[in-house]
Structure 1
Amino acid sequence: MKLVLAIAPDRFRDEELFVPQKAFADAGVETVIASTKTGTCEGMLGGAAEATTTFVEVAPEAYDGIVIAGGIGSQDFLWGNNDLIRLVQTFAKDGKVVAAICLSPVVLARAGVLKGKSATVFNSPASVSEIRRGGATLTDRDVVVDGKVVTANGPFASKAFAASVLSVLSPISP
């Protein structure tokens, strides 16, 4: 199993990357960090992560899903990133896991993968508006699983989010 962990190059939410990343590693799932650029990405709380690939360079066929961390940087760097939106669309079309936490479910909404699905998001006027515009049924639950789509509403849900992603991650048949 292998997942893409997508983060903003600046101001991603530390727990929303590091907590799931550890849970995935503990479960034997390989991860690769992708962003708008390679190199060091800075978290909101002072953590740093190395993006080894860009969204443009990710080959979706090599992965079982994509997990997008949130944080303030999500709105600035990810919501309107067409390369990330195309990746999300490809993963969803191929029936793979598509997951996002905090402000990042907006990327899923903009990619069209939340239409007709239940979802949650960090509650801000802009994020709620985007989720509704994307055709999702917005819930106030911390984590929502709808098929292969997993959404969570903030850093305090990071552990449950990771567990939910692992629960829907299934081997791709050879």
Structure 2
Amino acid sequence: MTNLNINNGWLEGVEHQPSPHFTSREHNEEINLLVVHNISLPPKQFGGSYITDLFLGRLDPTADPYFESIYQLQVSAHCLIRRDGQIIQYVSFEDKAWHAGVSHFNGRDKCNDFSIGIELEGADDIPYTFEQYQQLANITNALQQVYPIVKEGIVGHCDIAPERKTDPGEAFDWQKFYQLLSV
């Protein structure tokens, strides 16, 4: 297990690609929710810079027919964990990334206000890599040193937007993740 440190909302020792798609958090807002997502661009294809391009607002709509329908979206996540375990951070944990959309958790709407969003490069029905689970556990451990995120506050996108979202999907092994988290 690698120890990651957070300095002013940013993970140390990982790639930073600051996204323009974020909002400042209210100063008194307690961050107590971690939302696990998946993304692949084009769908079910891995590698390349397309995810970063989307989160930075520079996705070329002519690079793939699918991109024509999404290139103008203003979305981001706090971090992406690639298939090989590389971490890219787009938004400070102290700010709101635009990852949850219309969402609800424990009687509260607008989960972006009080959550951190981590994207796994993947798809609902394709197994995630051990490196991704390990890095998700590493990030979660670092977050729990700074924010009051407990196990019950770690959810999938499907849990906060069940009518719209299915990620991280049936391929995500929650038990494997919890085992790594407790090491």
TM-score by length of 2: 0.29
- The structure in which a higher percent of residues are strand is 1
**Higher RCO (C-alpha 8 Å, min separation 6):** 2
Q: Which has the larger radius of gyration?
A: 2
TM-score by length of 1: 0.30
